[in-house]
């Protein structure tokens, strides 16, 4: 569509809004019917560590959403001289898992506990054994059961629990629902029914410590819907929450809210069986849509679902790029002191580019990028740590190589269960995330780390909210004509540009040497969590 066609589409409300609340940014994008972005906005936020839990205040959720939406409409007004008044369809996505729990008067009973908390190991172990199904620590059911085990006093008043995307959707539409992908990170789901596993719900409700409460698990959890279903409509209250200026009208269709895993699969055309994707950000996760059940339960493999309900093997690492970003902040300060001004993209390009001069095993250097605990490596408390021996080859090239190697290390360890133990492979593995705005370097190292071909698509830097907008447009215009798989393949990605990097044998060998060193040093990282206490303020 050309400029005038975009202007007319916006004026007529033939536009779709996707919102995603990620770990460090709340993002919003506006699409026209040709799947192209016409405006985007964002708001930076960070989780806070309070009273022993990682959390975000819900007030900041709305500050961020309104700021991102305001940036979208400001761009539209500047570029098209049109005020956004009507939006055909809206979709909300957010980081998955965690605990948001409310009473029957809709009051939040305890501050939002995010996926990042490593406080539910006892519950996760017990539930995994009970269900014979891997329940990770970050899943909502693990948070709920840990609260039960702890005897937390608010549980007697509990009436509803949801995810962050489910909460925002509820406030915009009045509907207490979830897309099946997001729901699968709260409690196991069944593709054949499109609902939670009823047998497991009964097992949970029958636990002695649970049965004392007036609620059942089904009464607490949101209703589950698949991609393409209606998720209700934007209410007057919801329109005012999005746009306090009052310009936005109520009535927009809302699609079922999804988790960031679901939007990652959607935005990389990875919802079909034997396709996979990797999302690289504050955390890292890989998704592979299964064509067969796993042979056994694996502690490093979660079974979640695509937005249509197909089983997906997921490897989730709590830590990925946060430590690199912290070092980049330090180097940016150094550049400023030396009188040099660099944009973030330029800084990343220059420093990551130095890895072309690095030793393939990173010169004997070692790094742990753990701002929080890491379930995959049994690290309870995160302490970012860099180490070297007296004979290590210590230079900038190897230091930056080590940072990238370490960022991908937990994911690589987790993926080994899928590739070497279950012998499951993907036909395609597509990566996305802001790191890939710097071409080739991160992509090649990831290919070497996993010993898999890695494909980057042209939208790799900003996939999440775009993927959510695609799901909203699917619900509005295409669900009665196409499966989600065919909609993405034959409508959205029919002319998509992509580049694939194959593993380099020497690089694979070098990364394997680093991982051996990394595994040997893990006791140091665990001990650091025990000895180095967080300062009290």
233/223 Cα distance (integer angstroms) = 16
69/40 Cα distance (integer angstroms) = 8
> Above 70 in pLDDT, residue 280?
yes
Higher local confidence (pLDDT), 432 or 455: 455
Six-digit token pair at 535?
A: 């300062």
**Which residue is listed with tokens 């960070």?**
46
264/458 Cα distance (integer angstroms) = 14
147/163 Cα distance (integer angstroms) = 16
Give me the phi and psi of 290, to 5 degrees please.
-80, 145
pLDDT in tens, 80-112: 999 999 999 999 999 999 999 999 999 999 999
Closest listed residue to residue 318, CA positions, set 111, 39, 69, 23: 23
On whether the CB atoms of residues 91 and 468 are closer than 8 A, the answer is: yes
Q: Give the ranges where 151-230 is alpha helix by DSSP (H).
A: 164-173, 180-183, 198-205, 208-211, 217-220
pLDDT in tens, 459-491: 554 578 999 999 999 999 999 999 999 999 999
Spell 228-237 as b/e; 16+ CB within 10 A means b.
Answer: bebbbbbbee
Helix (H, G, I), strand (E, B) or coil at 224: strand
Please state whether beta strands 177-179 and 223-225 pair in parallel, antiparallel, or not at all (unpaired). Answer: parallel
DSSP for 240-271 reads HHH-TTS-SPS--EEPPPEEHHHHHHHHTT--
Portion of the chain with pLDDT greater than 70, in percent: 99
Per-residue pLDDT, averaged over 441-452, amounts to 94
> Above 90 in pLDDT, residue 127?
yes
The torsion region of residue 433 among left (phi > 0), alpha (psi -120 to 50) and beta comes to: left
pTM: 0.84
454 forms beta bridges with 501
pLDDT in tens, 6-19: 999 999 999 999 99
Which value, in Å, is the radius of gyration of the alpha carbons in the chain? Answer: 23
pLDDT in tens, 151-202: 999 999 999 999 999 999 999 999 999 999 999 999 999 999 999 999 999 9
Residues sharing a CB contact under 8 Å with residue 333, sequence separation 6 or more, in sequence order? none
Residues sharing a CB contact under 8 Å with residue 283, sequence separation 6 or more, in sequence order? 23, 115, 116, 316, 317, 318, 319, 320
312 forms beta bridges with 289, 304
**Which residue is listed with tokens 């919801």?**
238
pLDDT at 459: 59
Helix (H, G, I), strand (E, B) or coil at 113: strand
DSSP for 16-44 reads EEEEEE-SSEEEEEEEETTS-EEEEEEEE
134/339 Cα distance (integer angstroms) = 52
Question: How many Cβ atoms sit within 10 Å of the Cβ of residue 210?
Answer: 18
On whether the CB atoms of residues 256 and 177 are closer than 8 A, the answer is: yes
**How many helices (H) and strands (E) would you count in the chain?**
18, 23
Per-residue pLDDT, averaged over 496-523, amounts to 95
pLDDT in tens, 327-351: 999 999 999 999 998 999 999 999 9
- When pLDDT is cut at 50, 70 and 90, the band that residue 537 belongs to is low
Average pLDDT of the chain, as a whole number? 94
CA distances from 321 to 180, 370, 376, 408, 438 (A): 28, 9, 16, 9, 14
pLDDT in tens, 64-80: 999 999 999 999 999 99
137/126 Cα distance (integer angstroms) = 11
pLDDT at 464: 87
């Amino acid at each position: 569509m050309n400029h005038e066609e975009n202007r007319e589409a916006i004026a007529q409300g033939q536009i779709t809004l996707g919102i995603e609340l990620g770990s460090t940014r709340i993002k919003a994008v506006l699409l026209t019917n040709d799947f192209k972005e016409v405006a985007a906005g964002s708001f930076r936020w960070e989780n806070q560590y309070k009273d022993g839990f990682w959390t975000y205040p819900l007030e900041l959720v709305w500050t961020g959403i309104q700021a991102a939406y305001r940036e979208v409409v400001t761009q539209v007004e500047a570029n098209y001289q049109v005020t956004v008044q009507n939006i055909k369809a809206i979709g909300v996505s957010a980081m998955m898992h965690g605990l948001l729990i409310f009473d029957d008067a809709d009051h939040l009973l305890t501050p939002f506990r995010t996926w990042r908390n490593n406080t539910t190991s006892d519950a996760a172990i017990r539930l995994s054994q009970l269900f014979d199904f891997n329940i990770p620590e970050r899943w909502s059911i693990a948070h709920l059961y840990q609260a039960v085990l702890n005897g937390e006093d608010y549980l007697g008043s509990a009436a509803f629990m949801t995810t962050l995307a489910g909460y925002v959707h509820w406030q915009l539409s009045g509907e207490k629902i979830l897309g099946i992908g997001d729901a699968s990170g709260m409690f196991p789901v069944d593709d054949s029914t499109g609902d939670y596993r009823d047998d497991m719900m009964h097992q949970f409700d029958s636990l002695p410590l649970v049965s004392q409460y007036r609620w059942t698990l089904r009464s607490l959890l949101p209703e589950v819907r698949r991609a393409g279903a209606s998720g209700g409509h934007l209410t007057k209250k919801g329109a005012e929450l999005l746009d306090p200026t009052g310009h936005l009208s109520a009535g927009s269709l809302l699609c079922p809210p999804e988790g960031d895993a679901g939007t990652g699969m959607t935005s990389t055309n990875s919802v079909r069986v034997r396709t996979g994707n990797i999302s690289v950000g504050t955390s890292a996760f890989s998704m592979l849509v299964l064509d067969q059940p796993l042979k056994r339960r694996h502690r490093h493999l979660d079974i979640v679902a695509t937005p249509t309900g197909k089983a997906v093997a997921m490897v989730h690492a709590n830590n990925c790029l946060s430590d690199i970003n912290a070092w980049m902040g330090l180097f940016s300060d150094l550049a400023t002191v030396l009188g040099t001004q660099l944009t973030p993209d330029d800084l990343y390009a220059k420093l990551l580019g130095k890895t072309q001069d690095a030793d393939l095993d990173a010169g004997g250097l070692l790094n742990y990028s753990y701002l929080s605990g890491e379930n995959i490596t049994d690290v309870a408390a995160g302490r970012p740590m860099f180490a070297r021996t007296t004979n290590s080859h210590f230079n900038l090239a190897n230091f930056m190589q080590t940072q990238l190697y370490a960022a991908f290390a937990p994911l690589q360890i987790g993926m080994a269960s899928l590739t070497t133990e279950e012998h499951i492979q993907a036909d395609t593995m597509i990566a996305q995330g802001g790191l890939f705005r710097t071409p080739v370097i991160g992509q090649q190292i990831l290919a070497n780390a996993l010993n898999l071909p890695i494909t980057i698509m042209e939208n790799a830097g900003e996939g999440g909210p775009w993927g959510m907008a695609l799901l909203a447009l699917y619900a509005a215009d295409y669900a009665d004509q196409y499966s989600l798989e065919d909609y993405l393949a034959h409508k959205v990605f029919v002319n998509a540009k992509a580049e694939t990097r194959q593993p380099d044998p020497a690089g694979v060998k070098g990364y394997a040497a680093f991982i051996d060193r990394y595994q040997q040093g893990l006791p140091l990282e665990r001990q650091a969590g025990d000895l180095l206490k967080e300062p009290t303020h």
